[in-house]
Structure 1
Amino acid sequence: MKEKVTYAVVDIETTGGNAATGDRMIQFGCALIEEGKIVQQYAIDINPLVSIPKQIEHLTGISNQTVANAPYFEDVAPMIYNLLEGCIFVAHNIQFDYKFLSEELVRCGLPPLNSIGMDTVELAQILLPTEPSFRLNDLATRFGFLHDNPHQADSDAYVTAELFLLLKQKLKKLPLVTVEKLVELAEHCTMQTNLFFKETLSDMLTMRQLLSDDLLVKEGLAIRKKTVTYEQRTHRETEHYPVGIEAKEQLFQKKLTTRKLQIQMMDEVYRYFSEKDSEHFVIEAATGIGKTLGYLIPLAYVATPQEPVIISTYTTLLQKQLLEKDSIQLNTILPFAVQAAILKSKHHYIHLAKFQEVLKDPIEHQMDAILKMRTLTWLTETVTGDLDELNLTNYLQPFWNKIRHRGWMDNAQEDLFYEQDFYLHAQEKVKQASIIITNHAFLCHDLQREEPVLPNVQKIIIDEAHHLADVATTASSEVFSYYRNQQLMKLIGKRADDKSFLSRLSALAEKSNSIQLTQINMIEMSVVAFEEELAAFFDKLISYCRSELPERQQMSDQLDVQFSKTENWTLDLKKKTKILLALMEDIVFLGYEITRQALIHREQFTHRERHLIDDFFELIGTVESQKGIFQKIFRESEQNEVTWFSFKQKSPKNSFVIKRSRIDSSEFLRTKLAEQTTSILYTGATLELNGDFSYFEKQLGEKKLRKMVIPSPYDYQKQARLWIPKELKPLKQLTKKQYAEMIVEHLETVIQHSNENMMVLFNANETLQDVFSLLQQHPAFTGRELLAQGLSGSRDRILKRFFHSTGGILLGADSFWEGVDLPGKSLRIIVVTRLPFESPDRPFTKAKYKWLESQQLSPFKMDTLPKATVRLKQGLGRLVRSEKDKGVMIVLDDRLIKTNYGQQMLASLPHDLVKEVVAKEELQRNLSLFLEED
């Protein structure tokens, strides 16, 4: 009979993170698990005999008053020790709870903990591979665990116990072959977390279960089966687009609310693509219209696998939303099924054959084992093999680069997983799709390719179209950096380094006559010489750049210098440029020669060795690409191009990048997209300015678009306010420090009479960081959740935490001006710290302005003002997301009311939006009154 095991799932709350420096426990919680059930709970407050910091009080809800009459830890330590003795200790991030508790027990004269320990964070990372967050609160929300008091030990311990049981069940459902591999890798997990896998495997071996019908095992890997669905065209031909309200209501039934403005958009989109109008079409559809279904429903009646429609949107996140949310909703409404597919580059997909080989590699560190285990679990779930499903925060981990798909040098059918290959499966799905979903970056890169990946389609929808010109410019950018090339050379490496390509190729050379050791020796010498010359070149280039900058700019952390000609360079710099090019040429020639010889005798090598050769071939291709960029950079820029150097003072060489970019993409988009495509529909929420689309047309190289504006369904007069504080000082009169202090002063004014969530929008990350630092030190903001872009985690995680906050303050720049959906009370106040003009000091902006002037155009009127106006409109668009939302935008820049261009910006905002200058006291009083009104 199997011995009964008791799991003690523990959570503690403390005054800080280090018991050794005087932090103390303020709460202990424990839930006991036996035979798959929570059988007992235990929780107690503890008087720490030290003051509880305000931030801990805010986080936990535990105050000095709460624990004033609670026992001291010395009083309860023996009971806690006895409770845990003989149990398996389980915690969410065990290394904190276990260590802190053990140190406290020793302080009280008891033995340290010697329990077996398991970590639910690690288990969740492995067994819930696609979760975007592994914070306990987020997992509790995701799985519907009742969590009344987050960050209190009793509630956290109970929820952790529920999570532990869920993970146990999840593991039992995995295929035996997967669990066996997990057990092998689990030896590298934290403490004794490996026993969790061993125990489950033991149970599974006594009660063997059949492999699920939707899984297959190939070469020792359990993979989910996948199929390509083919559309039933004959069924579709009997259906016709529903003309008129009644026909649409019959189609929608209760699955979609009939909205007049959305129907207006549907009819126009259907008419446009049916008539095959020679003009291209732009529709500005305000937030709240239901724009996506506004074009998807009519598309369903005109798109077929033989004549598909391409939809391009701004980000891969929006791309995913179109496929996984919007197209699924579309198919619940339609009387027939429409196939949609995402088109991405091969690098987004896992290469199964490479992963299988990487599994055999020795474990170098704990994270390596966790990532392998996580991927094994994921393969039993995914039907796409798209690495984006894993919600990775760090794609630069060497592990992901090893298993990423790179294609094949020659015969793909030699791949052991050819029939299960995810990239080939994605391509097949695209061939059978009526709607092909891509993103602007992929589209713009594809327009530049000699052999495009996208099919030659004559119907295209550009969603979030205001981004297309900037993305096209970014797609044209070429970057040569010191760090990037150092890393490339490190990968090629030296024969003495076991992990380098040259070392592993040397082993192949000794095995086969197809690779010559002399060539490997020659490439090694070129790599060593290149590394030395590259370091010397960048040292001299940094000195040159500093000498070119005015003295006032030399003190900045970020230095940017526009490059014009090499004529001003020293003879030594010019000489080193030629030497670097010659060395790169040698490396590329020798590298391709090695792979060419290996390819001829490919049958002599194992699959693993062939992957090595494939990867080396791609690496040499990257070096060749960098060589081409280096060559282009130092020729004189054409009128519509700019080259600049950029680096940080703190790490000048490692941060040094040389960039070359197209200044204006209108000609490129006109010749490559507009003139090559019969029907293009551009759509978005912020495309016109005061009813004029000319700025938008110029950006895209379009001359005469058919135009339509669908107004907002929201009542801005009732739902929103725009306020400019009366006491504002002109920004030009403020120093950098005074400016940050001014922002904090106004934020303090706002929070004194409001506990609403507030987003503060910046133009510069430097100011954002200064304000964040001041807020953390300011007593008025103690207890508020402060979140800052670049300082508080990834964008998605920041937004998720902010959404669940009360009185949270989020500081954001760049992408936070748009694409943020925080409806209802999750966002009711936006503070704009400065009108969103581009910095004129950036080399790219300077070059763009100079180019516009050469066209006899005003940079401010033609570019700066329109772009800032669009961004201000986007910022306001974050505030009102439904008919019930209410919100206030506060602008801390008096130029909005004191300049002609400020008045133009105001005029572009909704006409019924109330725009007022308010005094400090009036702002405080009106804020509460307005937001509390029904």
Structure 2
Amino acid sequence: MTHKDTYAVVDIETTGGNVASGDRMIQFGCVLIEDDQIVHRFSTDINPLTNIPKQIEHLTGLSNKSVALAPYLEDVAATIYNLLDGCIIIAHNIQFDYTFLSGELQRCGMPALKNKGIDTVELAQILLPTESSYRLNDLVNKFNIEHTNPHQADSDAAVTAELFLILKQKLKNLPLVTVEKMVEISEYLTMETSYFFKVCLAEMKKELDPLSDSLMIKNGIAIKVKPPVFEQDNYREEFHYPLSVKNKEQLFQTKLTTRMQQIKMMDAVYHYFTSNQTNHFAIEAATGVGKTLGYLLPLAYIASVDEPVIISTYTTLLQKQLLEKDIVQLNTILPFTVQAAILKSKSHYLHLTKFQTVLNDPIEQKVEAIYKMKLLTWLTETETGDLDELNLTNYTHLFWNKIRHRGWLIKPEEDLWHEEDFYLYAQQKVEHARIIITNHSFLCHDLNRKERELPKIGKLIVDEAQHLPDVAMEASSEVFGYYRMQQLVKLIGRTSDEKSFIGKLIILSQQLSKMESSYLENMEMNLFSLEDELSDFIHQLLVYCTTATSNKQRQQEQIDVQFNRETNWNLELKKISKKVLTLMSEISYLGFELVHQGLDERHQLTLKERYLLEDFFDVMTTFDEQKDLFHAVFQQNEVNEVTWFSYKEKSPKNSFMIKRSKVDSTRFLKEKLVETTSSILYTGATLEINGSFDYFQTQLGEEELKELIIESPYDYKNQARLWVPKELKPIKGLSKKDYVHMIVEQVENIIENSNENTMILFNSFEMLQEVYFALQQKPSASGRELLAQGFSGSRERMLKRFFRAKGGILLGADSFWEGVDLPGKSLSILVITRLPFESPDRPFVKAKHRYLEQKHLNPFTIDSLPKATLRLKQGLGRLIRSETDKGIMLVLDNRLIHTSYGKQIIRSLPSGLPIEEVATKMIGEKLQLFLRTEEK
């Protein structure tokens, strides 16, 4: 182990991914590093003597023609082998490059590579814990490394070398105690990546730097010191809201452009909250108004620590944007500082004591080692401990469950890391904040809690308010999963299994006088019985489902069957459900009793044993929730509830789920929010339909809203076009195959005639998937950045890649209809695959419509049409994001033009927007002409 190691940073381009299948190397690039300096570069094209596929040509720029005169690999294999001899090979995703290169060299008679190997993907995952993407291009952009030819081996090798040196420096800047811990864990990493950590540790020990003042070490872990939470002065006595336009312009100076629509909103918000109005207020602020600062600036003069204003927005991502972008901008404008804080549920935060315990547990999978090392780096950077900062695509791995915060069964003061606890710190910030930011889901769950986490709500702003009714309904939704129940039973376990909860608690009960081992034995017997009874019950429910399922449903992978207890319930099933419920209740009682017995003698327990009880309590809580849902479905009956069974045809029993939801959240919102909160401002870009807030008002349980519509500053007449292709066949008459073909044909027509970024919006993931697979096969799409929801990473990662793309194609559904900010060239064409009506076959939609019919209301006019209208308005809002944007919306559904309800939808779209039917063959020419035309 010496600093004299020579590193060979390698990148290769190939015709495909598998040497054994005949794929060949077409380019090799290598950069040598010694003493942290680049000392040599080598690259060569290679004639593969085989065809280079079109998509590889588009990606790399290498064609059969361009490599025709290049040497064969047989001619340069020895040169490459000798160049690498004695070096440590580094690559971005090394397992591909190393394996492929070794296979190709062996094919040419060289020995297999035996060099050490280091993976820069893993180094980046560990040392750059908050990045949303670890693709080479994205990391290179982050560090402003010049990358002249992406997907060319010489250029990729050169930037990977620079990235490696940056990562090495980042590691050496970490505290010694952090790197020592990393070295212990690093043996589980790919190839010899651990060697890199050992080398760096040895170098660090030679020149020890003092610990930074911004860090502290406790129990062998280095963490960032949190800044103290200060009380704020009450600035309102000293500073007054700038009432006139002139005063606002003096305040804004060069930091904010004066927009009359935004000023109109600021004044309306200020007057509403400072007058004694009893009605709640709804402001529709169209895209481009600058709605967020439109309410934040007046709030700064209204809110105080004693009477904070709560802002609820749609997602945790928008919460983060409010705090890190909008509040920061606000504070650059104001002559004082407004302190804001985010309030999320406990589970968003890292629990330091649990992490310390897990850190010393044996590692079973490589991914756990990466997660542990990633968190060790992150703890030296984060002030919040909010796991969302890690930008992971999902947190389903068991590791995250072990280390996330779930509160305390013991007194918080008994926690080893009590003073540094992230959740308690977040609560302190909330107590000292004038603006508290939460999200609709947290708000709705909090309204239902006996002990609320939010302070008493006096003044509330609901941003993206059109979502609140749906989120309230989702908050009421519950799922009982047969597979989930099996997993819980397995987790609770057997007395004979020392790794299960019961097995561990049997051992624990031997040292505690109050813990009854008979409870554990009874619990095990009941679990055995439950497995049998529940299996029999689900089997009979599946028989019931089969008789209630139509032929059309049987052709689908996912089958949903609505359940009506009054009309479809037989005595045998009723009898078994009671048995199942009795067993669940007994298990639940015994489990919670065991937890309390253990906690009564907690001072005899080690930290690990306490956490065993806490984890067991969490499992029993989940079990108890499943029991309560089972009881609600089979023993209760509510008019405003819908229950349905859902399963997949391939594995009906294991995929069997019982889903239950409220059909209407109006009563809940009216009783828990509307009638208990004195001042509420609802705002969003799509609240009204044809100038009326009636639909929005009814959904919330409001009665006499004060209303304001602030028009868009954008010139839709000159900035946008809405086209419907002329030759479209009626959607309802198309088979699934023909429908997919139609969408692909229209998208191909666009991408063959333009190199503009195009977003395609779907109503269903199934259709999105079919179109994505079909487009992957099309030559016109090869070489384009083709991104699809569910296939290309998180929403944030996809949008970042799409924003940087030239000629990118993004397929999205659901959340992509709104909250997407892609100004200028980052989005020029928007394709709507069909009018965004909810599927009438979904059990939930069926139930809601039946509920409305019982109230003698027309579900289509009362529910379906308003929702689709607002959805289309939201979609259009993605397209024009600034005064200079130009964009085309292509709607592949002629019902918009040819039906009376389509014309009703059109009336809700921005005035002046040109709408016409265009022949498909003319679309290419017209879009080129429109997007090329300079604004007059």
- Normalised to the residue count of structure 1, the TM-score between the two structures is 0.98
User: Aligned partners of 1:916, 1:485: CA distance in 2, in Å?
Assistant: 54
Residue matched to 1:264: 264
- Do the aligned residues in 2 keep the contact of 1:637 with 1:643 (CA within 8 Å)? no
Alignment-derived partner of residue 339 in structure 2: 339
| Secondary structure of the structure 2 residue equivalent to 1:197 | helix
Retained in 2: the 8 A contact 1:228–1:429? no
Give the superposition deviation at 1:231: 4.1
1:450 maps to 2:444: no
What do the CA deviations read for 1:233-292 (whole angstroms, capped 9, x no partner)? 155521111111221121112111111111111111111111132111111111111111
Change in 2 beyond 3 A, CA 1:344/1:855: same
Does 2:195 align with 1:195? yes
Aligned equivalent of 2:768: 768
Structure 2 CA distance for partners of 1:933 and 1:413, relative to 1, 3 Å:
same
Aligned residue runs from structure 1 range 916-931, under 5 A: 916-931=916-931
Cα deviation, 1:906-926, whole Å, max 9, x if unaligned, reads 111011100011112332221
Q: Which residue of 2 aligns with 1:280?
A: 280
1:408-557 to structure 2, matched below 5 A, reads 408-557=408-557
Deviation at 1:927, TM superposition (A): 1.0
Structure 1: 5+ residue stretches without partners:
none
Matches of 2:288 and 2:902, distance apart in 1:
27
Alpha-carbon distance between aligned partners in 2 of 1:282 and 1:726, rounded to the nearest angstrom:
39
- From the superposition, tell whether residues 307 and 549 of structure 1 become closer, same or farther in structure 2 (CA, over 3 Å): same
| Structure 2 residues not aligned, in runs of 5+ | none
Instruction: Give 1:500's aligned amino acid.
Output: S
Q: Which residue of 1 aligns with 2:746?
A: 746
Which stretch shifts more, 596-605 or 232-241?
232-241
The residue matched to 1:30 in structure 2 has which SS? strand
What SS is found at the alignment partner of 1:487?
helix
1:239 counterpart = 2:213? no
Offset, 1:570: 4.1
Task: Select between 269-278 and 866-875 the one with higher mean Cα deviation.
Answer: 269-278
Q: What's the CA shift string for 1:87-113, capped at 9, x where partnerless?
A: 111111111111111111111111111
Alpha-carbon distance in 1 for matches of 2:187, 2:779: 47
- Letter aligned with residue 832 of structure 1: I
SS in 2 for 1:634: helix
In 2, Cα distance between equivalents of 1:119 and 1:178: 20
Could you tell me how far apart the structure 2 residues matched to 1:130 and 1:169 are? Answer: 17
Which position in structure 1 is the counterpart of 2:179? 179
Q: Distance in 2 between matches of 1:418 and 1:781?
A: 55
1:71 partnered with 2:35: no
How many angstroms does 1:4 deviate by? Answer: 1.6
Contact 1:147 1:156 in 2 (8 A): yes
1:402 positional shift: 0.4
| Distance across 2 between alignment mates of 1:304 and 1:779 | 60
| 1:115 matched to 2:76 | no
Write the distance in 2 (CA, Å) between the matches of 1:465 and 1:858: 24
Secondary structure at the counterpart of residue 712 of structure 1: coil
Check conservation: 1:31, 1:38, Cα contact below 8 A. Answer: yes
Range with greater deviation from structure 2 (8-17 or 61-70): 61-70
More divergent stretch after superposition (463-472 vs 564-573)? 564-573
Partner of 2:204: 204
Tell me, what secondary structure is at the counterpart of 2:32? Answer: strand
Letter in 2 for 1:757: N
Q: After the TM superposition, which residues 27-42 of structure 1 pair with which residues of structure 2 at under 5 Å, given as runs?
A: 27-42=27-42
Deviation of the 1:774 alpha carbon: 2.3
Give the structure 2 partner of residue 601 of structure 1: 601
Note if 1:155 corresponds to 2:155: yes
In structure 2, what residue type is equivalent to 1:7?
A: Y
Aligned partners of 2:171 and 2:179 also within 8 Å: yes
Partner SS state of residue 514, structure 1: coil
Contact 2:310 2:435 in 1 (8 A): yes
Alignment deviations for residues 512-538 of structure 1 (CA, whole Å, 9 cap, x no partner): 333232222221222232223222222
Residue 864 (1) aligns with residue 857 (2): no
1:130 aligns to 2:146 (yes or no)? no
Structure 2: how far apart are the matches of 1:258 and 1:393? 39
Q: Is the 1:482–1:654 contact (alpha carbons within 8 Å) kept by the matching residues of 2? A: yes
Q: Please give the per-residue CA displacement for 1:812-869, whole angstroms capped at 9, x wherever unaligned.
A: 2111111222211121111111111111111111111111112221111111000000
TM-score, length of structure 2 as denominator length = 0.98
Cα 1:234–1:756 shift into 2, 3 Å = closer
Q: Please state whether the residue corresponding to 1:433 is helix, strand or coil.
A: coil
* Of 799-808 and 49-58, the range deviating more from structure 2: 799-808
Is the 8 Å Cα contact of residues 719 and 887 (structure 2) preserved in structure 1? yes
SS in structure 1 at match of 2:653: helix
Q: Provide, for residues 428-467 of structure 1, a one-character-per-residue CA deviation record: whole Å limited to 9, x for no partner.
A: 1100000000000000111111221111021000000000
- Are the counterparts in 1 of residues 284 and 686 from structure 2 also a CA contact under 8 Å? yes
Work out the CA distance in 1 between the residues paired with 2:700 and 2:566: 33
Contact 2:2–2:199 (Cα < 8 Å) also in 1: no
Q: Which moved more, 1:293-302 or 1:851-860?
A: 851-860
Contact 2:232-2:305 at 8 Å conserved across structures: no
CA RMSD, 1 decimal: 1.5
Q: How many residue pairs align between the two structures?
A: 934
CA contact (8 A) 1:564 1:636 kept: no
Report the secondary structure of 2:28's partner residue. Answer: strand
Call closer, same or farther: CA 1:234–1:736 in 2, change over 3 Å.
Answer: closer
Q: Indicate conservation of the 8 Å contact 2:54/2:779, yes or no.
A: no
Q: Does 1:736 align with 2:736?
A: yes
Is 1:810 the counterpart of 2:810? The answer is yes
Query: Following TM superposition, by how much is the alpha carbon of 1:674 offset from its aligned partner in structure 2, in angstroms?
Result: 0.8
- The Cα of 1:881 is off from its aligned counterpart by 0.7
2:396 aligned partner: 396
In structure 2, the CA distance between the partners of 1:354 and 1:636, relative to structure 1 (3 Å rule), is closer
Alpha-carbon distance in 1 for matches of 2:928, 2:402: 55
Which is further off, 795-804 or 664-673?
A: 795-804
What CA deviation, in whole Å up to 9, does each residue of 1:523-558 have, x standing for no partner?
Answer: 122223222322222222112111112233222211
Q: What secondary structure sits across from 2:560 in the alignment?
A: strand
1:480 and 1:373 map into 2 onto residues whose CA distance is 35
Which whole-Å CA distance do the structure 2 matches of 1:421 and 1:175 have between them?
Answer: 21
Partner of 2:705: 705
Matched AA of 1:595 = V
Q: Secondary structure at the match of 1:839?
A: coil
Asked whether the equivalents of residues 293 and 326 of structure 1 are also in contact (C-alpha less than 8 Å), the reply is yes
Q: Partner residue of 2:800? A: 800
Q: Which has the higher mean CA deviation after the structures are superposed, 489-498 or 399-408?
A: 489-498
Give the superposition deviation at 1:487.
1.9
Which region of structure 1 is more displaced relative to structure 2, 204-213 or 703-712? 204-213
Q: Check whether the contact 2:223–2:379 (CA below 8 A) recurs between aligned residues.
A: yes
Once the two structures are superposed, residues 13-33 of structure 1 have per-residue CA deviations (whole angstroms, 9 ceiling, x without a partner) of 111111111110011111111
Which deviations, in whole Å up to 9, do the C-alpha atoms of 1:655-712 show, x marking residues without a partner? 2221111111111111111110110000000111111110110011111111111110
2:644/2:659 contact within 8 Å kept = yes
The share of aligned pairs that are identical, in percent, is 63
1:247-396 superposed matches below 5 A = 247-396=247-396
Contact 1:469 1:666 survives alignment (8 Å): yes
